[in-house]
Chain A
Amino acid sequence: MQIFFQDYAKVLLVLHGLAAVVLIGSSAHMAWRAVRGTLSGKEARVLWVAWSYVVTFVSGMFIYPTYRWYVRALYFEPQMRSVNFYFEIKEHLSALGLALVLACWLVARAGEEPALNRFRRIAAVAIFVTVAYGYVVSLILNNLKGI
């Protein structure tokens, strides 16, 4: 059975993984600066987080149909049903993370008011938590059954 983008799924998975490495590094750095209270509106790493997030997200969207059939429907659902819970949470959180990253990017250079800095700090930590969860779950699931 031919699934949409199936022929490119493995290449895209490598791209997805590489972009995720950049994303977890840049988001961890941003969250660390936020926790220490040194994150400013002029941070260049917001752009790194935004670009790597978009690349990871879009490549993941193209891999998803292959995963949905060959991994989830044929392998996880019949044999390891509870694993889908962790993956589905990752998908929902990554959608929320995309909205958060776009919001973070939009307020990146909006000024240095206390409310803006508070928003940036909370968003930076929330993005890191989202990315870290997705990264760990993806690694474990890919070890259980790759595409």
Chain B
Amino acid sequence: MNRLCRCSLALQFFVAAYLCAAFKVLPVPKYYPTLHLWTTDSIEKQPAMSWYGYTVYGLAAAVVGYLLGVLYARLQERLKFDLAVPSACVAGLVFVVCIVLHEAHRWL
């Protein structure tokens, strides 16, 4: 159960950090393939790749979430209520809805 709580919190942290990066709340490092350059600055009229940055933020946050998951497990034991699975599902749904709306606004 301890590991489940850790994984659930890691997923929630992943979603939070990834969405913060995708919605430009955090400064995202971008790779410019035509310039062979990594930077957080925006260079106009050059194709930029920010997806690597989102993923790195998400995975780094997931590691923090996994480490803090022990506290989440204790909270769950105290509340005597299974929070881990429903909260991971909600995080996943929030991720999908936010990303679809964000990309639809950009491309459709």
Residues of A within 8 A of B (CB): 1, 3-4, 61, 64-66, 68-69, 72-73, 81-82, 84-85, 88-89, 91-93, 95-96, 98-100, 102-103, 106-107, 110-111, 113, 115-116, 118-119, 122, 126
0 or 1 for each of B60-104: is its CB under 8 Å from A? (1 = yes): 001000000000000000000010110011001001100110011
Chain B contacts with A in 19-74, Cβ cutoff 8 A: 22, 31, 33-34, 36, 47, 49, 51-52, 54-55, 58-59, 62
Residues in chain A near residue B106, CB distance under 8 A: 84-85, 88
Residues of chain B lying within 8 A (CB to CB) of residue A72: 47
Shortest CB–CB separation between residue B70 and chain A, in angstroms? 14
Q: Is A106 a contact of B7 with CB atoms below 8 Å?
A: yes
Q: Nearest 9 A-B pairs (CB), nearest first?
A: A85-B107, A103-B7, A65-B33, A73-B47, A110-B3, A99-B14, A92-B99, A95-B55, A88-B103
**How far apart are A36's CB and chain B's nearest CB, in angstroms?**
19
Let me know if B85 and A119 touch, CB within 8 A: yes
Nearest-Cβ distance from residue A58 to partner chain B, whole angstroms: 12
From known contacts A96-B95, A118-B85, infer whether A3 and B52 are also in contact, taking CB-CB under 8 Å: no
Interface secondary structure of B, over-half rule: helix
Q: Please name all residues of chain B whose beta carbon is closer than 8 Å to the beta carbon of A65 when the two chains form the complex.
A: 31, 33, 49
Spell out B's residues near A (CB within 8 Å): 1, 3-4, 6-8, 10-11, 14-15, 18, 22, 31, 33-34, 36, 47, 49, 51-52, 54-55, 58-59, 62, 82, 84-85, 88-89, 92, 95-96, 99-100, 103-104, 106-108
Q: How far is the CA of A64 from the CA of B92 in the complex (A)?
A: 25
Whether B104 lies near A85 (C-beta < 8 A) is: yes
CB-nearest residue of chain B to A96: B95
Q: Which residues of B have CB within 8 Å of A93?
A: 96, 99
Instruction: Indicate if the CB atoms of A115 and B84 lie closer than 8 Å.
Output: yes
Contact A64 B49, CB 8 Å, known A92-B99, A99-B11, A119-B84: yes
Taking CB atoms, residues of chain A closer than 8 Å to B62 are 99, 102
- Shortest A34–chain B CB gap in Å is 14
Judge whether A95 and B18 touch: CB under 8 Å. yes
Residue in A4, A84, A103 whose beta carbon sits within 8 Å of that of B11 in the complex: A103
Contact of B58 (CB < 8 Å), options: A68, A82, A95, A111: A95
